[in-house]
Chains A and B, each alone.
Chain A
Amino acid sequence: MIRSITQQKPEEEIDQLLNGLGRVFMIGCGTCATLTHTGGEPEVKAMKENLSGKGKLVTGEMVLPVACDNLTAEALKEHGAQIGQSDVLLIMTCAFGVQTIARQLEKMVVPALDTLFIGKETGLGRFDEICTQCGTCILGETGGICPVTSCHKGLVNGPCGGTSNGKCEIDSEKDCAWTLIYNRLKELNRLDAMRKLQKPRNHQGEPSPGKFKLSA
Chain B
Amino acid sequence: MSTKTPSKLEEILTAGHLAVTSECGPPRGSDPEDITKKAEMIRNHVDAINITDNQTSVTRLCSLAACVHLKMMGIEPTLQMVVRDRNRIALQSDILGAASFDIHNILCLSGDHQQFGDCPKGQNVFDIDSMQLIQTVRLMRDEGKFLGGDEIKRPPQMFVGAAANPFADPFEIRVPRLAKKIAAGVEFIQTQCIYNLDKFELWMKLACDRGLHEKVYILAGVTPFKSAGMAKYMKNRVPGMDVPDEVVKRMSGVPKEKQAEEGINICVESIQRLKEVEGVRGFHIMAIEWEEKVPEIVERSGLYPRPDIS
Number of interface residues of B (CB under 8 A): 36
Residue A119, interface by CB 8 Å: no
Residue A203, interface by CB 8 Å: yes
A29 to B102 CA separation, bound complex (whole angstroms): 61
Residue B84, interface by CB 8 Å: yes
Residue B304, interface by CB 8 Å: no
A75 to B251 CA separation, bound complex (whole angstroms): 70
Q: Given that A164-B240, A169-B113 are known contacts, is A159 also in contact with B131, CB under 8 Å in the complex?
A: no
17 contacts between A and B (CB under 8 A): A152-B115, A153-B111, A153-B113, A157-B129, A157-B130, A160-B110, A161-B164, A162-B113, A163-B240, A166-B169, A166-B170, A179-B169, A197-B183, A200-B127, A200-B136, A201-B128, A203-B127
> Considering the complex, which residues of chain B in the window 37-65 have a beta carbon less than 8 Å from any beta carbon of chain A?
none
> Considering the complex, which residues of chain A in the window 164-184 have a beta carbon less than 8 Å from any beta carbon of chain B?
164-166, 169-170, 178-179, 182-183
B177 touches A153 (CB 8 A): no
- Residues of chain B within 8 A (CB-CB) of A153 are 84, 110-111, 113, 124, 126, 129
B177 touches A197 (CB 8 A): no
- Residues of chain B within 8 A (CB-CB) of A158 are 131, 173, 177, 180
Report, as a range, how many residues of chain A touch the other chain. 20 to 34
B110 touches A155 (CB 8 A): yes
Residue A156, interface by CB 8 Å: yes
Contacts between the two chains (Cβ within 8 Å), count: 96
Residue B88, interface by CB 8 Å: yes
Return the contact of B176 from the options A160, A161, A166, A195 (Cβ within 8 A): A195
A161 touches B127 (CB 8 A): no
Q: Given that A169-B240, A200-B147 are known contacts, is A161 also in contact with B163, CB under 8 Å in the complex?
A: yes
- Residues of chain B within 8 A (CB-CB) of A201 are 127-128
Per CB-CB distance, the 9 closest pairs between chain A and chain B, nearest first, are: A161-B165, A169-B239, A157-B131, A162-B239, A160-B110, A200-B128, A170-B115, A170-B113, A163-B168
Return the contact of A170 from the options B88, B110, B116, B131 (Cβ within 8 A): B116
A197 touches B240 (CB 8 A): no
- Residues of chain B within 8 A (CB-CB) of A169 are 112-113, 239-240
A153 to B170 CA separation, bound complex (whole angstroms): 18
Residue A126, interface by CB 8 Å: no
Chain B's closest residue to A148 (CB) is B126
A159 touches B173 (CB 8 A): yes
Residue-by-residue, is A172-216 near B (CB-CB < 8 Å gives 1, otherwise 0)? Answer: 000000110011000000010011011111010000000000000
A194 to B88 CA separation, bound complex (whole angstroms): 23
A199 touches B132 (CB 8 A): yes
Task: Report the minimal beta-carbon distance from A182 to chain B, rounded to whole angstroms.
Answer: 6
> Considering the complex, which residues of chain B in the window 119-144 have a beta carbon less than 8 Å from any beta carbon of chain A?
124, 126-132, 135-136
Q: Given that A153-B124, A169-B113, A200-B127 are known contacts, is A164 also in contact with B168, CB under 8 Å in the complex?
A: yes
Task: Report the minimal beta-carbon distance from B297 to chain A, rounded to whole angstroms.
Answer: 23
Residue A42, interface by CB 8 Å: no
- Residues of chain A within 8 A (CB-CB) of B180 are 157-158, 194-195, 197
A161 touches B192 (CB 8 A): yes
Inter-chain pairs besides A159-B177, A170-B116, A179-B170, 16 sampled, C-beta below 8 Å: A153-B84, A153-B129, A157-B184, A158-B131, A160-B168, A163-B168, A163-B239, A164-B239, A165-B169, A170-B115, A179-B169, A194-B173, A194-B180, A197-B132, A197-B184, A198-B131
A194 to B183 CA separation, bound complex (whole angstroms): 12
Task: Report the minimal beta-carbon distance from B171 to chain A, rounded to whole angstroms.
Answer: 10
Chain A's closest residue to B147 (CB) is A200
Task: Report the minimal beta-carbon distance from B16 to chain A, rounded to whole angstroms.
Answer: 28
> Considering the complex, which residues of chain A in the window 102-128 have a beta carbon less than 8 Å from any beta carbon of chain B?
none
Residue A80, interface by CB 8 Å: no
A170 to B130 CA separation, bound complex (whole angstroms): 18
A160 to B136 CA separation, bound complex (whole angstroms): 18
- Residues of chain A within 8 A (CB-CB) of B132 are 157, 197-200
Residue A84, interface by CB 8 Å: no
A199 to B147 CA separation, bound complex (whole angstroms): 11
A201 to B192 CA separation, bound complex (whole angstroms): 27
Residue A154, interface by CB 8 Å: yes
- Residues of chain A within 8 A (CB-CB) of B192 are 161
- Residues of chain B within 8 A (CB-CB) of A155 are 110, 126, 129
Residue-by-residue, is B173-196 near A (CB-CB < 8 Å gives 1, otherwise 0)? Answer: 100110110011000000010000
A166 to B176 CA separation, bound complex (whole angstroms): 17
